[in-house]
Chains A and B, each alone.
Chain A
């Protein structure tokens, strides 16, 4: 509907010169970029972008350590470490990507014989994974919690209804940061939760309150005749909800729900205050070891943008899939 209206409005207006205005858009973006660059020059900031990739992925050296004192001996063209006290105990050295010992070397326990190189995730990408995990777990919990609370909100039972109102109002009326502290320090201590669980619960409870409102308004937007038609066919309240109301409501709540999950990904950055090493916390740690705050925070922002962008992309596909019906 909205799209229709917009294109209708567009049709009524005189068409602007597209090329010109796209050009102007890029000029403005370029001007902002130059502005950033100039202002960093004025404070004599040295950009070190070349240092950033190693915090995403790096080549880890997986060393082979000697487990006993011994000597390196060459046999049939292959290097072995042989135990000085038990000649039967041998370890093959040849085959490692990088061998750092040679025939005849004397080796003590704990010395490196060489290493293999593996790609490993740097702290920033580790942080991305933690952020993803946090968002995923709390997102699933929030959907369950929010749907239940949304259904309770429209239930004729006053106890359920009041509980739901109470939950939504308390959560929406207090800052998420404070909620995270309460869950971590109070509930977390009482129930002996680790920080990750506390973070997931705080985010789920927070997002659930917003999901509840989205679910409630989605259900209420379905014409009351649908419920009446279901009931007049002899279906119960639960059956009518399940087979008739909720499937229709789902389609309508998809866009606001997607917005809420994009918020969840961004809100998850707040759990770094309870020392969960998510993307934001990882950024802080990298800043303190590199002293390159600009590069790090720009990279972190870009990664959040990628995460939320991927989510938007899939939601838009889902919307298109459901758009043809009803």
Chain B
């Protein structure tokens, strides 16, 4: 990813998030307590989840398929409602009705299947939400979008449609689109799982840059290399429970449970 321009990332507009490089990670920006999620059909997807995530922290969640990783991530920006417990994001309680849109503006989400808007150009994909939600003028939105596209190395594709891009390119645009709302938190749900192997790197590079510039990130991924290199904490979920929560070193070198050991031996 030679196109990723470091100075572009480090010289944001005053109110841009990436500027706040938090050295001492101490303020919780997400805190979940006693979270329960039961899907229709009595699928108990989350069982008594208690997590605190600090500002600027990068948390990686791993676990077998169906263990509730996506569900947990989706509860953090209210794409799923919870049945019990409480989640507070940046001081906004999710259990209070009416906070939904305010919260979603704070938390950007990147999906496994990109979910770009196929009828809009790359530029319009990025400009739409800032213009409609934040009522920013088109010129201003486009200027910001171009800057973000430059940061993810996609500026030359600004007028393309998503179907004309590779998976890796689409995912980088999707990241830029989420960043355009200037979120305080970025949620990633297996952002590289749908990509051909040769494109995984370019997306991970963008995510690493983001992490290095202080973005609070919660990442569900099977990329253990990314977890080792970038994560401040790694969590292991199994059948709806948060089983292990550790620093990457301890997590990988000294697995705290038999089940985790087994899981790691399968994925590493």
Q: Which residues of A are in contact with B by a Cβ distance under 8 Å?
A: 223, 225-226, 228-236, 239, 243-244, 247-248, 251, 325-326
Query: Is the CB–CB distance between B115 and A326 below 8 Å?
Result: no
Shortest CB–CB separation between residue B138 and chain A, in angstroms? 14
Known contacts A233-B108, A243-B132, A248-B117; 15 additional CB pairs below 8 A are A225-B111, A226-B115, A226-B117, A229-B116, A229-B117, A230-B129, A232-B77, A233-B177, A235-B132, A243-B128, A247-B119, A325-B118, A325-B119, A326-B118, A326-B163
Q: Which residues of B are in contact with A by a Cβ distance under 8 Å?
A: 77, 79, 101, 104-105, 107-109, 111, 113, 115-119, 128-129, 132-133, 161, 163, 177-178, 181
Query: Is the CB–CB distance between B119 and A228 below 8 Å?
Result: no
Contacts A248-B119, A326-B119 given: A229-B181 contact, CB under 8 Å? no
Shortest CB–CB separation between residue A322 and chain B, in angstroms? 9
Query: Is the CB–CB distance between B161 and A233 below 8 Å?
Result: no
Query: Is the CB–CB distance between B118 and A234 below 8 Å?
Result: no
Query: Is the CB–CB distance between A239 and B77 below 8 Å?
Result: no
Shortest CB–CB separation between residue B67 and chain A, in angstroms? 20
Chain B residues near A229 (CB-CB < 8 A):
109, 111, 115-117
Shortest CB–CB separation between residue A40 and chain B, in angstroms? 54
Shortest CB–CB separation between residue A159 and chain B, in angstroms? 20
Shortest CB–CB separation between residue A146 and chain B, in angstroms? 21
Shortest CB–CB separation between residue A4 and chain B, in angstroms? 15
* C-alpha spacing A325/B118, complex, angstroms: 7
Query: Is the CB–CB distance between B101 and A236 below 8 Å?
Result: yes
* C-alpha spacing A5/B247, complex, angstroms: 53
Query: Is the CB–CB distance between B161 and A325 below 8 Å?
Result: yes
Shortest CB–CB separation between residue A108 and chain B, in angstroms? 74
* C-alpha spacing A247/B128, complex, angstroms: 14
Pick the contact of A231 from B104, B163, B178 — CB < 8 Å?
B104
Query: Is the CB–CB distance between B101 and A234 below 8 Å?
Result: yes
Query: Is the CB–CB distance between A233 and B181 below 8 Å?
Result: yes
* C-alpha spacing A267/B111, complex, angstroms: 46
Chain B residues near A326 (CB-CB < 8 A):
118-119, 161, 163
Give the nearest-CB partner of B104 in chain A.
A234
Chain B residues near A248 (CB-CB < 8 A):
117-119
Give the nearest-CB partner of B162 in chain A.
A326
Query: Is the CB–CB distance between A232 and B109 below 8 Å?
Result: yes
Chain B residues near A232 (CB-CB < 8 A):
77, 79, 104, 107-109, 178
Chain B residues near A244 (CB-CB < 8 A):
117, 128
Pick the contact of B115 from A223, A235, A236, A247 — CB < 8 Å?
A223
* C-alpha spacing A229/B115, complex, angstroms: 6
Chain A residues near B181 (CB-CB < 8 A):
233-234
* C-alpha spacing A235/B111, complex, angstroms: 17
* C-alpha spacing A107/B117, complex, angstroms: 79
* C-alpha spacing A225/B129, complex, angstroms: 16
Query: Is the CB–CB distance between A235 and B133 below 8 Å?
Result: yes
Chain A residues near B119 (CB-CB < 8 A):
247-248, 251, 325-326
Give the nearest-CB partner of A248 in chain B.
B119
Chain A residues near B163 (CB-CB < 8 A):
326
* C-alpha spacing A325/B124, complex, angstroms: 14
Chain A residues near B107 (CB-CB < 8 A):
232
Name 10 A/B residue pairs within 8 A (Cβ), A-sorted. A223-B113, A229-B116, A230-B129, A234-B101, A234-B104, A234-B105, A234-B129, A248-B118, A248-B119, A251-B119
